[in-house]
Copies of this chain bind each other. A is one copy, B any other.
Amino acid sequence: MSKTYHIAVIPGDGIGKEVTPWAQAALEKAAEGEASFTYEQFDLGAERYLRDGAILPQDEEDRIKQADAILLGAVGDPRIKAGILERGLLLKLRFDLDQYVNLRPSKLYKGVTSPLANPGNIDFVVVREGTEGLYCGAGGAVRRDTPAEVATEVSINTAYGVERVVRYAFQLAMKRRKHITLVHKKNVLVNAGDMWQRIVDRVGEEYPEVTHDYSHIDAATIYLVSDPSRFDVILTDNLFGDILTDEAGAVVGGVGYSASGCINASNEYPSMFEPIHGSAPDIAGKGIANPTAAILSAAMLLRHLGFDEAAAKIDAAVEADIEELGSTTRTTEQVGKDILARI
């Protein structure tokens, strides 16, 4: 008998609501016979906030915590001041659910045009720390709105938090091409950078087959443009990971093909899977959003639950779809149906 998993679904705003059903459909089809799913929909995001002021009520968060995994669409609306939903909903979930691995694969699919003239063979994963660094919300301001204002932002980094994500990266590298590039800015951020490097060196000794090197964040942004195929696993902190994965998304032809997982690798809390793109208010409601990234996030969810074969089915279906039809103009529904037919 197949096991049943309970999935919390947060479609969110704009195109998030349009692509998420396709992620669910892909999940069902790929895992047919192996696993089944029950869903609980959560009405969270900008529209909810604008309606009743709620961002993440405690009882809803408690119910989300009970799920086996979370599917998120996209959250955001230009009418809302920057930071409110990000810190109150998205980052709050990442932190409260201790999703310390933010996993972001970048792959240039056949059939997708990269903005690079000679992109080469791009296929790497960014392992971004998800619960520390400058994202802690430690900081403040004094004398706000006066000429004497001082505003601070504090990056907090712990050996506890760094070591667990470093271990995850080495384990992942063992399943891939066995190479890690640590990205930091240790020539300026000497305290945090030195700690990251020491922990990578030490954990690396346990994985003699995995080679690792180091790149400053500024140099890494160059390599992503000039030689992206050099990377296998990029290991980095919360802010640098945010920056690198967006640049990586551009380099592989747009964030429309990039999914991500916010993973609690010790499974105390559910992990969360989402496309990297935003709510795209400009195209929302037109039925033309590309559901590919959302469908890829369903594959990441399946892999996280241990269904490697089902995940691979989705990946292969997406790959074939893009190769054959990636350059055609299709509606959300057409792309969704085309991919589903191949699963």
Chain A interface (Cβ < 8 Å from any Cβ of B): 82-83, 86-87, 91, 113-118, 134-135, 137, 139-141, 143-160, 163, 185-195, 198, 217-219, 221-222, 224-226, 239, 242-247, 249-251, 254-255
Contact = CB atoms under 8 A, between A and B. Distances in A.
Contacts of A156: 150, 152
Nearest to A145: B198
30 contacts: A82-B193, A83-B186, A83-B188, A83-B190, A86-B187, A87-B187, A114-B117, A115-B116, A115-B225, A116-B116, A134-B188, A134-B189, A139-B189, A141-B195, A151-B157, A151-B158, A151-B195, A152-B156, A152-B157, A185-B242, A188-B242, A218-B243, A218-B247, A221-B221, A221-B243, A221-B250, A224-B247, A225-B247, A225-B251, A243-B243
A113 B226 CA distance: 12
Nearest to A189: B153
A144 B86 CA distance: 32
Contacts of A255: 222
Q: Which 7 A-B pairs have the closest CB atoms?
A: A218-B246, A221-B247, A149-B159, A82-B187, A151-B191, A222-B250, A225-B250
A188 B247 contact: no
A159 B147 contact: yes
Which of A115, A154, A193, A226 has most chain B Cβ within 10 Å?
Answer: A115
Given A225-B115, A225-B247, A247-B221, A149 B185 contact: no
Contact of A219 (B158, B187, B246): B246
A301 to B, nearest CB: 23
Given A86-B188, A222-B255, A250-B226, A158 B154 contact: no
A231 to B, nearest CB: 15
Contact of A246 (B147, B222, B239): B222
